[in-house]
Amino acid sequence: MARIYLQPDRVAPLAELARELGIDAGGVTREADRLEDAGLIRSERIGRQRLLHANHESPFFDELYGLLLKAFGPVAELAPVLGGVAGVQRAVIFGSWADRYAGNPGPAPADIDVMVIGTPERSEIARAARALTERLGREVNITIVSAARWDEAADGVIRQAQSGELIELELGHGE
C-alpha cells in the first residue's frame, strides 16, 4: 500500500483514499469530517469529487507529520525489505530525509537517500529500490558501498553522508 498520507503536499481524492486504505467511502467520509472539524485537514469539492489536503496551518501539523513519518514512513518500510537482501550488512538513510526525521528544519524531501553497506547483488537492490519507490510514493535512491569504503570514508559521497544525520536501519539479521 502506498503511503499517500505521508506526502504532506499531496491532494487526495476521498474515493481514492478509501480504495487505497480498503475502507468504504462512508467510513472515510466520516473520518475526514472529524479531521476537518479538528482543523487537521482541509477539503474542497471539484464537481462530485471531494479532495483532501493536509492543513499546514494547523498548530499540530509538524508534530503529527513527524509522528506518522516515524511510525509508518521509510524506516518502517526500508528495514524489512533491505534486511531480506543477501549481502546487506548495514543500511542507513542520509540526506534531506534523515535531516527532517531528526527534526532539522527544511522543506519536505523529494526523495529518500539510502547507503547500503555490504556486497549485495546490484539487481536485487535495484528491484528493492523500485518496489520501495512504488510503496512509499517517493523516489528511493540506494547507493551500495563496501564495508571497507564506508569505514575509510575516502570518497566524497560517503564523507558527505557521514557528516550529516544518519538513520541506521535495524535490518533484523546478523550478518
Cell output for 44 = 474542497
Cell output for 154 = 575516502
- Strand arrangement of the beta sheet that strand 41-46 belongs to: 12-13, 49-54, 41-46
pLDDT tens, N- to C-terminus, the chain (175 residues): 334 445 666 777 888 888 877 889 899 899 999 999 999 999 999 998 998 888 989 999 888 877 776 666 788 889 999 999 999 999 999 999 899 888 888 887 889 999 999 999 999 999 999 999 888 878 999 999 999 999 999 899 999 999 999 999 999 764 4
pTM (predicted TM-score): 0.67
| Domain ranges across the chain | 4-62, 73-168
pLDDT of residue 9: 67
Is the separation of the CB atoms in 125 and 153 below 8 Å?
Answer: no
pLDDT of residue 4: 43
Name the class of domain 73-168.
alpha beta
pLDDT of residue 137: 77
Cell output for 10 = 499531496
- Strand arrangement of the beta sheet that strand 88-94 belongs to: 139-145, 111-118, 88-94, 167-168
Domain 4-62 sits in CATH 3.30.160.270: no
Is the separation of the CB atoms in 75 and 91 below 8 Å?
Answer: no
pLDDT of residue 42: 92
